[in-house]
Amino acid sequence: MRRLLAGTAMAVMGLALSTAHAQTAAPGRAHVPRPDVTTLDYDLRARAIAPRTWVIEGAVDDFSRKNGCNIINTAFIATGAGVIVINTGPSRLYGEQQRRLIGQTTAEPVVQVLNLNLHPDYFFGNQAWPDRPAEALAGSIAGMQAEGAAYADNLYRLCGDWMKGTASTPAALPIAPGVRTLGQHRLELVRLDGHTADDLVLLDHSTGVVFAGGLVFADRVPTTPHADFSRWLASLDRLEALMGAGPFRLVVPSHGPVHEGRMGIAQTRDWLSWLTGHMGAQAEAGRDLSELLAQPVPARFAAWAAQPVELHRTLTQWYPRYEQRALGGR
């Protein structure tokens, strides 16, 4: 018998995200964050991945007190005419430690702070940048304003003391997509969607680095609370085309290791295609959610971070819709 689940609950953001001219670091050399819980130190480190470009890597994991809710890659570029900060982390404390690290790494002043989407680990550190108002797509700003309080409740519950003094601080300035030159860098901002309703991607034509935000996950199960799966897949196609038309070789996903080429795009596309096909086929076969939750994933996904908990969140949120569609066709 088919059992429809009423009142699908949305998982909130995966519930329970020196000016040395360095060459691209090889895969496997990433710093694994080991926060010091006794002193509430995120142990943030700036890893040079291209000339004047650094990434601060988060744990490839799910939100927890163990990692201080730091599961996101943030980054910064010293353009020669000031620093651009990309994402500000999950808490006021992260933002403060990020700001201190940037000041220790480059003498250039910060001139721009970008939040690539509306999820909390992209913008909760904005609190540490009151004199540098953060920018984001207008739709992302509206989402931050609407959901910020719920995000804060969730992260305080999950990460406790790491969140002390943190208040949701949405980006203040809407930013328009387009190409602009800042210092020695030609930068392209592209609005895509699918992971959320507004996904900002930054392509640096000068270094070949793509900051893909939440559209691309690597070695981690994608989060889907605001997903539109068909639009997400279309955005991955467009992002791949953009990369193929330019000098782009290195991808910085918001979640997962920095990598060369299309690995993260291919993984994310593979997951979304399998997931939507799986939910559709299981709904047509009349299986209920409890049966899906008990099924293993294909072996190629089994070792990914946040497995199976992230899949279970996705199924709980989205599978009832597939059941309803299947019933409607009968």
pLDDT greater than 90 at residue 56: yes
Task: Classify 278 as helix, strand or coil.
Answer: helix
pLDDT band, residue 330 (cuts 50/70/90):
low
Overall number of domains in the chain? 1
Distance CA 42, CA 215 (A): 25
Of the candidates 83, 53, 82, the one whose C-alpha atom is nearest the C-alpha of residue 73 is 53
The Cβ of residue 7 has, within 10 Å, a number of other Cβ atoms equal to 5
**pLDDT in the model for residue 1:** 36
Chain segment 262-321, per-residue pLDDT in tens:
999 999 999 999 999 999 999 999 999 999 999 999 999 999 999 999 999 999 999 999
Q: Is residue 307 part of a domain?
A: no
Angle at the Cα of 119 from the Cα atoms of 116 and 121, rounded to 5 degrees: 85
Distance CA 151, CA 153 (A): 6
Strand partners for 213: 253
pLDDT band, residue 46 (cuts 50/70/90):
very high
CB 275 within 8 A of CB 229: yes
In eight-state DSSP terms, residue 27 is: T
Greatest alpha-carbon span in the chain: 66
Distance CA 74, CA 46 (A): 9
Range of the structural domain that residue 213 is part of: 47-275
Distance CA 272, CA 232 (A): 8
pTM for the model stands at 0.89
Exposure string of 136-147, with b = 16+ CB inside 10 Å and e = fewer, is bbebbbbbbeeb
Chain segment 187-238, per-residue pLDDT in tens:
999 999 999 999 999 999 999 999 999 999 999 999 999 999 999 999 999 9
Which residue has tokens 């895969």?
27
pLDDT greater than 60 at residue 23: no
CB 115 within 8 A of CB 134: yes
Which residues, at least 6 apart from 285, have a Cβ–Cβ distance to it below 8 Å?
none
Q: Is residue 283 part of a domain?
A: no
pLDDT band, residue 40 (cuts 50/70/90):
very high
Distance CA 224, CA 227 (A): 5
Percent of the chain with pLDDT over 90: 87
CB 222 within 8 A of CB 71: no
Of the candidates 104, 98, 54, 44, the one whose C-alpha atom is nearest the C-alpha of residue 79 is 54
Q: Could you tell me the CA-to-CA distances from 174 to 114, 285, 298 in Å, in that order?
A: 10, 46, 41
Least confident of 119-123, 174-178, 323-327: 323-327
Exposure string of 177-202, with b = 16+ CB inside 10 Å and e = fewer, is eeeeebbebbbbbbbbbbbbbbbbbb
Task: State the alpha helices, DSSP H only, in 160-262.
Answer: 229-244
Tell me, what CATH number does 113's domain have?
Answer: 3.60.15.10
Strand partners for 201: 190
Strand partners for 253: 213
Q: Is residue 11 part of a domain?
A: no
Indicate the length of the chain as a whole number.
330
